[in-house]
Amino acid sequence: MPIRTTKLMEMKQVGERIACVTAYDFPTARLAAAAGLPLILVGDSLGNVVLGYDSTLPVTMDDMVHHTRAVVRGAPDALVVADMPFMSYQVNADEAMRNAGRLMQEGGASAVKLEGGQHIAETVTRLTDAGIPVMGHLGLTPQSVNQLGGYRVQGRTLPEAQRMLDDAEALERGGVFSIVLEAVPAPLAAVVTKRLRVPTIGIGAGVECDGQIQVLHDILGLGTRQPKHGKRYLDLNAMIGEALQRYAAQVREGTFPAEEHATGIDDAVLLELLGAVESER
């Protein structure tokens, strides 16, 4: 049975931690779903992780729809949340509605995620009133990296911390079903988590959040990223590199493909073919 946004609220109420990951394609989504992860985020981090950009800013709506559709095929019963990319919701609420609708109708997403606080609360309300589930995102918001002066922890000063609390409460009033807290001091994230009825999902925000989310490629050691907030559970870079080297070596040596990797043909057919070829000469 597909997981709904209300499931996350129930998990918060009973103190059950929420494990989430990003995924950007069918095979990784299938693996995440098989592991029992209730929420999969199709993050615009695909720009950095999959498409090779320096930031999330070049990611387009077409990119997000394409990758969301693949993830939904791989995890049809998970709560698949799709990021709304840069400038897909900032212009006005009408444009936000159109683009959120695309992610749900064309991409098959169960919900969308927006970055920002009080300044987008009205847009959040507009979306949720239309029946579009919304996840919020506070703290380090990658789409605002140029304004923030880089990828820095947010909420360290009293004004910043107070604004984050105000932003979180504004998003909750707007109807979000959860809020991602990224690169936020752990004590502040704990305060926000206790203040809200909706669950918080941390990434670099400490253990007191209701759940955690990580980029799948980071925890699997696939790629070059090694963020401070992440933990590498595998080293797929080394494993895949070794496998490719072995494959290339066996091809060069002529030991692959072996007999068990090839398909034969009936001897009579082969003899007839060879006879025909010979007669043509």
The answer to whether the CB of 95 falls within 8 A of the CB of 69 is no
Q: How far apart are CA 209 and CA 186, in angstroms?
A: 8
DSSP SS3 for 273: helix
Active site residue 95: no
Q: How far apart are CA 181 and CA 168, in angstroms?
A: 9
Instruction: Report the 10 Å Cβ neighbour count for 145.
Output: 16
The answer to whether the CB of 210 falls within 8 A of the CB of 17 is yes
How is residue 114 written in tokens? 């927006």
Instruction: Pick the closest to residue 169 from 198, 210, 130 (CA basis).
Output: 198
Instruction: Give Cα 232 distance to the centre of its chain.
Output: 17
How is residue 226 written in tokens? 């090694």
Q: How far apart are CA 22 and CA 82, in angstroms?
A: 10
Give the active site residue among 10, 16, 182, 272. Answer: 182
DSSP state of 44: T
Is the previous residue joined to 2 through a cis bond, with omega within 30 degrees of 0?
no
DSSP SS3 for 277: helix
Rg (CA), the chain: 24
Q: How far apart are CA 17 and CA 27, in angstroms?
A: 25
**Catalytic residue positions?**
182
